[in-house]
Amino acid sequence: MLLRRFRGVQNPTNSYIGAFKIRKMRKISFLLAALCLLTAATMAQETPDLDMFKKIRNEEMTNSKVMEIAYYLTDVSGPRLTISPGYTRASNWAKSKLTEWGLSNVALEPWGEFGKGWELKKSYIAMTAPYYQPMIAYPKAWTLGTDGLKSGEVMLVDAKDSADYMARFKGKVAGKIIITPLAQDLNKLDSTADGSRYSDEELKKIANPAPDTGRRGNNPEFAARMQALRFRNKLKELAQADGAIAIISASTRGKHGTLFVQGGGPYRVNTAPSMPDISMGGEDYLRIQRLVKGGVPVKLDMDIQTQFTQDDTKGYNVVGEIPGTDKKLKDEIVMVGAHLDSWHGATGATDNAAGSAVMLEVVRLLKTMGVKPKRTIRIALWNGEEQGLFGSSGYVKNHFADPATMELKPEHAKLAAYFNLDNGSGKIRGIYLENNEAVRPIFEKWLEPFHDMGAATITKSHTGGTDHESFDAVGLPGFQFIQDELEYDTRTHHSNMDTYDRLLPEDLKQAATIIAAFVYQAAQRDDKLPRKELPKPRPARAPF
C-alpha cells in the first residue's frame, strides 16, 4: 500500500443515510421506514451457502498453496518495482499459473502509460575513514549510479533553503557525499513490541470511529513535510549541478538495521534522472553525522550501477477469469485484486506479495473445488500501486468510468463487487464499508461463520491508500478488509526487511478462506451488492 500517512481511518462524511438526512430533513421518517423495509428485505434474502463456506474452509486449511505462491512472488521473482524486470518475472509467473489452473481470458493487460523502467544492478557502500565498515544502505529507485567506484568525504549540508545553499555551499560540494541534519534520537529503550494484533478494544474503536479531526490538507505537519520534500528535491538539483557524488538520507522510522527505501527520482519519460540518492540505516547514518559534527573526517566508497529502460513504457496488470455459468448473471462480474508491484529494498512480501498470493490462492481454490459460479469471477493483480494506484485507476478508467467525467461504460453496470487485500500479512479482522451502510447486513451474515477466526468487525469507515479506492471513486462497491497490523509499520512496509520470512502462513490461509467465501457468495446471490450514490465528476487529481 501507499504510505500510511495517506491511509488511516477517517470519519464517514458521505454516508448514504447521512447525505439524505442533511438534504431532506422533512422526509426523514419516510426514509427511515423505507430503509428498515429495505434492510429487512436484504436480511431476509441474505442466506449465505454455509455448506459451501465449510467446504472452502476445509479445503484451504488442509491443501493450501498460498505459501508456495508467495515463494514464487518473492524469493523467485525478486523485488517487483513497477515495470521492472522483477515485476515482469512475477507477472509472467502469475499469468502462467492462472492458465495452468484453467482460468479463462488470462492476460497481461496494459493499463496506460507509466514511464521508465529501473533496476539496481550493483550496490557497494562502505565507510573507509576513520576506519573500514560496511554500511546498511540502499539506492533509491529511479536514481543514477556512481559511474564506477567513487570515494568521497562526507559533508553535512545544513542549508535551510536554496538561498542559504547558494550562500554557504555553492562550489563546495564537488566530489563530496552529502548528508543533511537528522534530529533522530535512538538512545532510548523502545519497550513496545514490534508486532501486534488488534485488541478487542482497538477493534471497537475501528467499528465506532471518533469524529473527524480535520482534513489532511490543513494539517501543518503534513504541509511542513511537503515543504521539506520540495526543498530536498531542489537541493539534489543544485548539488548534482555542482558535482556532488551522492546524497544520503535516513528514514526516521528505521532502527536495528531496518531501513525504508522508495523512489528518489522521476520516472516519466523525458525527465532528467536524479543524482545517486541513498537511504541508510538509522544507526549508520547517525554515527556518520556524529563523527562529522565532531570534526572527524568520514570517507565513503560507493560503486552503484542502476539501469533505466524505455523499450516499453506502458504498465501491465495481470487478469484472469472463472467464467460465470448462469444465463442471466454470467455477464456480471465479481472482482478480487491486490497490487503485485513493490518497492525494491527487499521482495515486497507483506507489501504486497501477501495480498497477491491470497487472491491467487482464492481463484486457485475455487477453481480446484470445481465451483461453477453464477457470475464471472475475475482476478486482477495491479501494477503501479506504489506510485499512485496507477494500475487499478487505469483499469477502472478503461473498463468502467473516468472519475473526471463520470461517463459510464457498459461494464459499469455489470460489476457486482470488488474485494482488495493490501494491509500486510495480517489476518482478516473485518471489513470497511466505505460509508456504504446498505452492505452492512449482508457482510454481517457473510462474516458470521468466521467469527471464530477473529473476523467480526464491520465499520462504516473509509480506509485509504490502496486500490479499492479506484473503484469507489466511480461509485462501484469496492472494499478493503481490516487486517491485523503485525510488524507492518515498524519493520516491513517499504523496508529492506520485507521478505518471505515476515509472512504468517496461518494468517494468509485465514484471509484466503474468508475472501473465497465472500467472492463465492457475491457471485451467487440474487442481486449485485448495493451501491452508494454515483459521485459527481471530479477534475483529474492525485489519487490520494
Question: What does the binding site for Zn ion look like in residue numbers (CB under 5 A)?
Answer: 1, 351
Tell me which residue of 21, 95, 42 sits closest to 445, measured CA to CA: 42
Would you say the C-alpha torsion 540, 542, 543, 544 has a positive or negative sign?
negative
SS3 of 489-513: the string is HHHHCCECCCCHHHCCHHHHHHHHH
d(CA 453, CA 312): 45
- Cβ atoms of residues 417 and 471 within 8 Å: no
| DSSP code of residue 143 | B
d(CA 410, CA 400): 7
- Cβ atoms of residues 473 and 392 within 8 Å: no
| Smallest distance from Zn ion to CB 31, Å | 40
Closer residue to Zn ion (CB): 265 or 355: 355
> Residue length, the chain?
544
| Smallest distance from Zn ion to CB 386, Å | 5
d(CA 264, CA 267): 9
Tell me which residue of 422, 477, 18, 486 sits closest to 212, measured CA to CA: 18
| Smallest distance from Zn ion to CB 414, Å | 30
Cell reading at 501: 520470512
End-to-end CA distance of the chain: 12
Closer residue to Zn ion (CB): 284 or 351: 351
d(CA 358, CA 260): 24
Q: At CA 528, angle to CA 524 and CA 529, rounded to 5?
A: 110
The alpha-carbon radius of gyration of the chain (Å, integer) is 25
| Smallest distance from Zn ion to CB 465, Å | 8
| Smallest distance from Zn ion to CB 351, Å | 4
Q: Residue 368 is which amino acid?
A: T
Q: Residue 94 is which amino acid?
A: A
d(CA 329, CA 415): 11
| Smallest distance from Zn ion to CB 511, Å | 17
Residue nearest to Zn ion (CB): 351
Closer residue to Zn ion (CB): 265 or 345: 345
- Cβ atoms of residues 373 and 366 within 8 Å: yes
- Cβ atoms of residues 384 and 119 within 8 Å: no
Q: What is the DSSP string of 448-466?
A: GGGGGGT--EEE--EE-SS
Tell me which residue of 478, 349, 467 sits closest to 111, measured CA to CA: 467
Closer residue to Zn ion (CB): 1 or 428: 1
Place of cell 479445503: 59
Closer residue to Zn ion (CB): 1 or 125: 1
d(CA 14, CA 11): 9
Closer residue to Zn ion (CB): 82 or 435: 82
d(CA 429, CA 454): 6
Closer residue to Zn ion (CB): 283 or 351: 351
Q: Residue 408 is which amino acid?
A: L
How do strand 462-463 and strand 9-10 relate by DSSP bridges?
Answer: antiparallel
| Smallest distance from Zn ion to CB 255, Å | 20
Closer residue to Zn ion (CB): 1 or 322: 1
Closer residue to Zn ion (CB): 1 or 120: 1
Cell reading at 364: 486457485
| Smallest distance from Zn ion to CB 494, Å | 6
| Smallest distance from Zn ion to CB 339, Å | 8
Contacts (Cβ under 8 Å, ≥6 apart) of 31:
17, 20, 21, 24
Closer residue to Zn ion (CB): 124 or 544: 544
| Smallest distance from Zn ion to CB 421, Å | 13
Closer residue to Zn ion (CB): 433 or 482: 482
d(CA 450, CA 509): 13
| Smallest distance from Zn ion to CB 420, Å | 13
| Smallest distance from Zn ion to CB 356, Å | 12
Closer residue to Zn ion (CB): 301 or 351: 351
| Smallest distance from Zn ion to CB 258, Å | 15
Closer residue to Zn ion (CB): 12 or 384: 384
